Amino acid sequence: MLDGNAVAGLLQEVFGTDVTAATGTCASCTAVDAVGAVHVYVAAGVVLRCPHCGSVLMRVVRSDKRLWVDLRGLRSLQLESI
């Protein structure tokens, strides 16, 4: 198990800016954490899980030249505007 810090580059590909310092709200238990601090599992894709309840927050799968992103477990994301 890793944490959000380890997939900072992948998340920056998805969002176009760093989101590890952003805070996310878990749609399941409403806990709020920095994305850098959430649990990360790497297999065929990357799965971010809530460190409090274990629910899936986000899934990212790469295939060829596409990234598939599932955000249904993340109620909201709050980040500093540039």
Beta bridge partners of 74: 26
One residue of 27, 31, 34, 61 binding other proteins per CB under 8 A: 34
Applying the rule CB under 8 A, the residues between 3 and 22 that interact with other proteins are 3-9, 12-13, 16-18, 20-21
* Residue pair 26/57 in contact by the 8 Å Cβ criterion: yes
37 binds other proteins (CB under 8 A): yes
**Residue 11: exposure state from Cβ atoms within 10 A (0-12, 13-18, ≥19):** buried
- What are the residues binding other proteins (CB under 8 A)? 1-9, 12-13, 16-18, 20-21, 34-37, 42, 82
